[in-house]
Amino acid sequence: MKSELKRCITALSAFAALASVGVSSASAAGVPSESYNYDRWGEAIPSQAGYTAERTVSGDDLEIGAFDAPSDLFIDHNGIMYITDTGNDRIIAADSELKRVLRVYDRFTMPDGSETRLSKPAGVYVSAANDCLYIADTENSRILVTDMAGNVQTEITKPESEVYDSKRTFLPQRVVADKAGNVYTVLGNITSGAAMFSPDGEFMGFYGANRVEATAKVVSNYFRSLFMSDEKKARRTRTVPSGITSFDIDGDFIFTCTSSSTQSTDTVKKLNAAGKNIFADRELYFGDYKPVYDAAQNKTYSTALVDIDISADGCINCLDLTTGRVFQYDEECSLLFITGAVAKQTGGFDQAAAVESLDDKIYVLDSSKDTVTVFRETSFGKAVHRAASLYNDGYYEEALGPWQEVLARDGNYRRAYVGIASALLRKGDYKGAMKYAKLADAGDIYNKAFEGRRREFLKEHFTVIAAVSALCIAALTALGVYRKKRRTAKNTNEKEAERK
């Protein structure tokens, strides 16, 4: 009952906070859904918008003809945006403002001088290390590595290796390259991780495979298999992990996501060079905390992440196909904002396919509407990002003021409570840190603050505690001596009585 009362108070305070700044940012901008976030109980609550939909851009707007089922976006180190126009068998290079086309890549020159064309390309990437264009040319079953003039440097095709099943097709969906020139590609029919190739196109194996979720059925099947014959094991259906759907590279790390709506293990991973998931031992959740119920269709939908983007400031943008929403997290995977929806108007999507970010904007590609939607950061979003950036860089005390500004604008923004608690802990204000950590349900911070407060209390009252302790010891000693004398006297009296 007490918990329910707290939740009601929380919801009311959130509405009051929104009212104090005028109208909800989402409503004011015409976004098709109210902005929301999650409280410490995991309940969805109203929140100010971090981004608002500014405009949508189509192929006709760029004067190159309508897009046809575009599937990927990428913004390179020069701020040039590349759009994979899958149905039209081309890659569009445009300026980041999406006002003019810089080049259309639809024909390429092979090393022997012959011309080649794309067939249903699904992914694109540009490397800052070598200024090369990497294209997942799906229907041609290859990856093209070209210079910016369209001259093919390397053509990667189906591997001839014992590790790669010869019965499998080779259908690249997404592609990235690291600083060393190694190429990674997500294959549409492979669940054993991303295929990895050396700079010269040699197959090196698979990288970053997802784990199988340890459900009751999986555990039961495992123990059963311990007692099966080899013949039965060969016939039984194997449990396989979900495949990687998309990825992005940030420095020395590759971030992956999966669109499986039936598996919560490895939804988002941060992989180092060895393929180890840095997030593996942390209890993290990406997307909506609970399945979404659509009353109109009487269906329940679960999060299915189709793309991931790492912004320049380290924020993680996850695109959910089910709800058409972008879930943005900071470097520590704390939820910052939720943007977008499934809707017809600006800011909503029919089939969200890819997400990219640059400066204060987020771009979302819709493969059904054949458009790119531009979201711009709001003043509230700017305040949160400033505070989060200081916090994640280790400037906890400097982040205190910005977090307090955020909290003044949205009194129920949980991330601000965590930031303030950390800042106060760093300053040595343990009592204040305990207060804000409790409001944020941040157990680790609360425990550290409690320990600090306990040390502080003992130091402040050491003289009194020592004196009281000394008196207690003296009193206990005196009581012991008194009881001993009484026992001795009693024993003496008993002995004398026996003699008589």
**In the predicted structure, residue 218 carries a pLDDT above the cut 50:** no
User: Which residue type does 134 have?
Assistant: Y
Most confident of 90-99, 218-227, 438-447: 90-99
Q: Looking at residues 77-90, what average pLDDT do you find?
A: 96
Q: Looking at residues 183-212, what average pLDDT do you find?
A: 88
> Nearest CA to 258 among 334, 169, 181, 173?
173
**In the predicted structure, residue 240 carries a pLDDT above the cut 60:** no
> Nearest CA to 185 among 212, 204, 167?
204
Residue 79: count other Cβ atoms within 10 Å of its Cβ.
Answer: 11
Cα–Cα dist 262/65, whole Å: 38
How would residue 76 be classed by pLDDT, with cut points 50, 70 and 90?
A: very high
Cα–Cα dist 225/30, whole Å: 56
Find all residues with CB under 8 Å of 237, minimum gap 6, and list them.
none
**In the predicted structure, residue 270 carries a pLDDT above the cut 80:** yes
Most confident of 110-124, 202-216, 420-434: 110-124
**In the predicted structure, residue 24 carries a pLDDT above the cut 60:** no
Higher-pLDDT residue of 187, 215: 187
Higher-pLDDT residue of 278, 190: 278
pLDDT in tens, 339-397: 999 888 899 999 999 999 999 999 999 999 999 999 999 999 999 999 999 988 888 88
**In the predicted structure, residue 55 carries a pLDDT above the cut 70:** yes
**In the predicted structure, residue 471 carries a pLDDT above the cut 50:** yes
Higher-pLDDT residue of 464, 14: 464
How would residue 8 be classed by pLDDT, with cut points 50, 70 and 90?
A: very low
Q: Looking at residues 80-99, what average pLDDT do you find?
A: 96
Q: Is residue 122 within 8 Å of residue 71, measured between CB atoms? A: yes
Find all residues with CB under 8 Å of 59, minimum gap 6, and list them.
65, 66, 67, 85, 92, 370
**In the predicted structure, residue 178 carries a pLDDT above the cut 90:** yes
Kindly state the DSSP code that residue 113 receives in the 8-state scheme.
S
Strands lying side by side in the sheet with 316-320: 305-310, 316-320, 325-329, 335-342, 348-349
Higher-pLDDT residue of 495, 415: 415
**In this predicted structure, what is the pLDDT of residue 189?**
78
Higher-pLDDT residue of 257, 222: 257
How would residue 464 be classed by pLDDT, with cut points 50, 70 and 90?
A: confident
**In the predicted structure, residue 142 carries a pLDDT above the cut 60:** yes
> Nearest CA to 82 among 58, 56, 113, 105?
105
**In this predicted structure, what is the pLDDT of residue 214?**
46
pLDDT in tens, 280-339: 888 888 988 877 776 766 777 788 899 999 999 999 999 999 989 999 999 889 899 999
User: Which residue type does 425 have?
Assistant: L
Higher-pLDDT residue of 485, 275: 275
**In the predicted structure, residue 82 carries a pLDDT above the cut 70:** yes
Q: Structure pTM? A: 0.81
User: Which residue type does 386 have?
Assistant: R
**In this predicted structure, what is the pLDDT of residue 28?**
35
Lookup: tokens for 288: 């909506």
Q: Looking at residues 229-233, what average pLDDT do you find?
A: 52
**In the predicted structure, residue 412 carries a pLDDT above the cut 90:** no
**In the predicted structure, residue 227 carries a pLDDT above the cut 60:** no
How would residue 241 be classed by pLDDT, with cut points 50, 70 and 90?
A: low
**In the predicted structure, residue 415 carries a pLDDT above the cut 60:** yes
Find all residues with CB under 8 Å of 189, minimum gap 6, and list them.
168, 169, 171
Q: Looking at residues 110-136, what average pLDDT do you find?
A: 95
How would residue 181 be classed by pLDDT, with cut points 50, 70 and 90?
A: very high
Mean pLDDT rounded to a whole number for the chain: 83
Across 172-176, 337-341, 377-381, 439-443, least confident range: 439-443
How would residue 14 be classed by pLDDT, with cut points 50, 70 and 90?
A: very low
Q: Is residue 303 within 8 Å of residue 322, measured between CB atoms? A: yes
**In this predicted structure, what is the pLDDT of residue 173?**
95
- Cα dihedral sign for 460, 461, 463, 466? negative
